[in-house]
């Protein structure tokens, strides 16, 4: 069965510091991969996605993620965190068959210190 | 801009009341979903639909019911609300060419 793990429940970084949020997945083939962000009390917003091709993908708000097939990982990075990045981040996978549902990770809460 | 709309945004209701949470999307997506999420917690899929007159239960058992009479509309109903139903409910949709769920802003339900 597909699964997504986000090993870090809560991460705290200082504003201006770099950030990496980890995501590992278990899937029989290479799935489509996504990162979503959720501000408090809001819905989820798509940050970026990977389907194929270049393993480093750029997203909105200065985020990027790198797909590493050998490690079954899709880690999210940002070189310099802003206070407004404080939110919950969810990694998600779905098979490349349109009939499949997404599988979400448990989320990582990011806190940003001034 | 949001192409998927949820109403109400916030709802406080008494125990035993019947409620319907609305979800509508203007993108023509055939697949729609309801997730339940407690504050700061993970998402739990409670219902989904692959098209008109198609509804399925998700991974998390829920006392709610859904219907899909029109493509754009996927309401969720609780016949008798209880305090244990207090949560945030998120609606999402996806179409064959959209690549990734689009989420609504959610309905935060409090049952007192």
- Residues B57-66: pLDDT tens digits? 998 888 999 9
A27 or B85: whose pLDDT is higher? Answer: B85
Structural domains of chain B ordered from first start: 4-96 (2.60.40.10)
Q: Is B102 on the interface with A (CB under 8 A)?
A: yes
The CATH number of the domain holding residue A107 is: 2.60.40.10
Q: Residues of A with CB below 8 A from B33's CB?
A: 101
A98 pLDDT band, cuts 50/70/90, is low
Tokens (6 digits) for A5: 């793990």
Q: How many Å apart are CA A69 and CA A54, to the nearest integer?
A: 12
pLDDT at position B2: 57
Choose the closest CB to B42 out of A46, A99, A104: A104
Choose the closest CB to B101 out of A99, A102, A107: A102
Under DSSP, is residue A62 helix (H, G, I), strand (E, B) or coil?
A: helix
Per mean pLDDT, which range of A13-27, A91-105, B82-96 is the poorest? A91-105
Range with the largest mean pLDDT of A21-25, A50-54, B39-43: A21-25
Tokens (6 digits) for A35: 């990162």
Q: What is the mean pLDDT of residues A36-47?
A: 91
A77 pLDDT band, cuts 50/70/90, is very high
Choose the closest CB to B99 out of A44, A49, A105: A49
Under DSSP, is residue B111 helix (H, G, I), strand (E, B) or coil?
A: strand
pLDDT at position A90: 96
Enclosing domain of residue A88: 3-113
Helix (H) / strand (E) containing A100: none
Q: What angle do CA B96, B98, B99 make, to 5 degrees?
A: 95
pLDDT at position A82: 97
Residue B1 predicted with pLDDT over 60: no
Q: How many Å apart are CA A33 and CA A72, to the nearest integer?
A: 11
Q: What is the mean pLDDT of residues A57-83?
A: 96
pLDDT at position B45: 93
B76 pLDDT band, cuts 50/70/90, is very high
Q: Residues of B with CB below 8 A from A100's CB?
A: none
Q: What is the mean pLDDT of residues A17-26?
A: 96
Q: Is A104 on the interface with B (CB under 8 A)?
A: yes
Tokens (6 digits) for B67: 């219907």
Residue at token pair 């609300």: B81
Q: Is A88 on the interface with B (CB under 8 A)?
A: yes
- Contacts for B40 with CB less than 8 Å, ≥ 6 apart: A88, A107, A109
Task: Indicate the burial class of A74 (C-beta count within 10 angstroms; 0-12, 13-18, 19 or more).
Answer: buried
> Total domain count for chain A?
1
- Contacts for B50 with CB less than 8 Å, ≥ 6 apart: A99, B30, B31, B56
Q: What is the mean pLDDT of residues A36-59?
A: 91
């Amino acid at each position: 069965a597909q699964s997504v793990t986000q090993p870090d429940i809560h991460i705290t970084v200082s504003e201006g510091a770099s950030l990496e949020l980890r995501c590992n997945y278990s899937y029989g083939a290479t799935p489509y991969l996504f990162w979503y962000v959720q501000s408090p009390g809001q819905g989820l917003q798509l940050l970026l996605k990977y389907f194929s091709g270049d393993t480093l993908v750029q997203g909105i708000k200065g985020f990027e993620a790198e797909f590493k097939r050998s490690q079954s990982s899709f880690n999210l990075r940002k070189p310099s965190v802003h206070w407004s990045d404080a939110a919950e981040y969810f990694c998600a996978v779905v098979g490349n068959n349109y009939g499949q549902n997404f599988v979400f990770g448990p989320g990582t809460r990011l806190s940003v210190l001034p | 801009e949001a192409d998927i709309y949820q109403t109400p945004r916030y709802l406080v209701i008494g125990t035993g009341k019947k409620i319907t949470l609305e979800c509508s999307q203007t993108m023509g997506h055939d697949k729609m979903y309801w997730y339940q999420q407690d504050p700061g917690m993970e998402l739990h899929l409670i219902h989904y639909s692959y098209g008109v007159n198609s509804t399925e239960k998700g991974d998390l058992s829920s006392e709610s019911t859904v219907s899909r009479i029109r493509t754009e509309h996927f309401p969720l109903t609780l016949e008798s609300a209880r305090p244990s139903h207090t949560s945030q409910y998120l609606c999402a949709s996806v179409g064959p060419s959209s690549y990734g769920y689009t989420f609504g802003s959610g309905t935060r339900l409090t049952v007192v």
